[in-house]
Structure 1
Amino acid sequence: MSPFVGVYEQLLTETELSELVQQLATAPSYYFLRWSHQVSGIVEKLPDDFPSPEGQMFNCDRELRWKRQYDRYSVLLLSNTGDVPGFKSIIKDRDDLRESEKESYWKTEQRPAYGYSTNETRFPRSRIYPKSLDVRNNQPSQKNQPKLAQRYFIAQPTATVHFVALTVDMPIIESKGRRGNL
């Protein structure tokens, strides 16, 4: 499948947003939620006071971002596995591109993401994220766990990075002499 960047065609209610997040969440999915007075850090399950005014859900396939606009939510999708029903590509309306250029407009690159250590002094409080996601964590019990990564969405005509999405890098496991994703 090809990379896709799109926005939901209409603003969503809280209920519709909750349903969409649950629909697009595949295991393992992680969440980062923002309120005016706090952030959740990267968490593995949604808190009881969901939805937050802003936030994101990410997994190895996609990142979903939302932001409240009055009493509704606008939603952006950054997908590495093609489009999703209900989302409109942000480049479909470009008249200066041929249809074939629209299909191959985005390319992605994925790199490890390094969280700050808990004793980093530039932040007033330590960052919250599951220790298993830390790419520096080399403990044997954590080797087969997903690791935090970032995916760059690059416009091929200009080689410009337009979006950086959080994602997880799934470990490769050995199974009867063959390599495959977890």
Structure 2
Amino acid sequence: MKPFVGYKKQPLSVSELLDLIPKLIVEPSYYFLRWTHKVSGIVEKIPTETDFPMLEGQMFNHEYELRWKYKQKNTYEVLLLTINENHHNFELVGQAWRIEPSDIKKFPSNAYPAYGYRPEETRFPKKLIFPKDLDIRLQEENNKKPKLAQRYFIDDQTSTVQFVALTVELPQL
């Protein structure tokens, strides 16, 4: 696993973005979409043209996190965070990245636990949506569901965490 952080040099149109997303899908994949008036929550449904325009969104799975943000004239800036080597159709951000959890045996996918919010959490006006098949770690359970996690992309020259990506920790078989 070699981390890669890259971006698209030119903003993508909605149709170009919708063509790119399926190329990075690894099951299970999840999406989080944001508009001015609402958020989708974490969902399993791939965005469609009717979901646009949106302010920003992201797709994540155990290999990739793809982020997009509205630029102008219905185009989107795109950032890719991955543990899956170099992607030649993306421009490299920086020279050297690393991901290194403190206990590789405990977190074999180079990911740290991430936690969802309890349904009764009052900091949001509406409860956040999470898929039933995603373990958001509210209880200590030993189940076979994929678990919500996060991955730190660390600049190898400065040892500074530059990006925190959502990811999925797959169940150990």
TM-score (norm 1): 0.81
1:75 equivalent in structure 2: 78
Paired letter, 2:88: P
- The residue aligned with 2:131 is 130
User: What residue is the counterpart of 2:108 in the other structure?
Assistant: none
> What is the aligned-residue identity percentage?
50
1:145 touches 1:170 (CA, 8 Å); kept in 2? yes
- Is 1:151–2:151 an aligned residue pair? yes
CA distance in 2, matches of 1:137, 1:57: 25
* Larger strand percent: 1
CA deviations on 1:101-152 (whole Å, 9 max, x unpaired) are x3xx211142100111010122221111124321235567xx1111100001
Give, as a single letter, the amino acid of the residue that structure 1 aligns with 2:37: H
**1:73 Cα offset (Å):** 1.0
Q: Secondary structure at the match of 1:172?
A: coil
Quick one: which amino acid aligns to residue 38 of structure 2?
Q
One-letter amino acid of the structure 2 residue matched with residue 14 of structure 1: V
Query: Does the 8 Å CA contact 2:31/2:43 hold for their aligned counterparts?
Result: yes
Distance 1:50 1:85, change over 3 A: farther
**Runs of 4+ that moved beyond 6 A:** none
Counterpart in the other structure of 2:105: none
Equivalent-residue separation in structure 2 for 1:149 and 1:112 (angstroms): 4
Q: 1:114 maps to which residue?
A: 115
Q: Which residue is 1:62 aligned to?
A: 64
CA contact (8 A) 1:9 1:86 kept: no
The total of aligned residue pairs comes to 159
Distance 1:122 1:155 in 2: 33
- TM-fit CA distance, 1:26: 1.3
The 8 Å contact of residues 118 and 138 in structure 2, kept in 1 or not, is answered as no
The separation in 1 between residues aligned to 2:123 and 2:21, in whole angstroms, is: 32
- The answer to whether the Cα contact below 8 Å between 1:107 and 1:156 also exists between their aligned partners in 2 is yes
* Corresponding residue SS for 2:79: strand
Query: Which TM-score applies when normalising by structure 2?
Result: 0.85
1:160 match: 160
5 Å-filtered alignment, 1:72-111, equals 72-91=75-94, 102=95, 105-108=96-99, 109=101, 110-111=111-112
- Work out whether residues 5 and 80 of structure 2, in 8 Å CA contact, stay in contact via their aligned partners in 1: yes
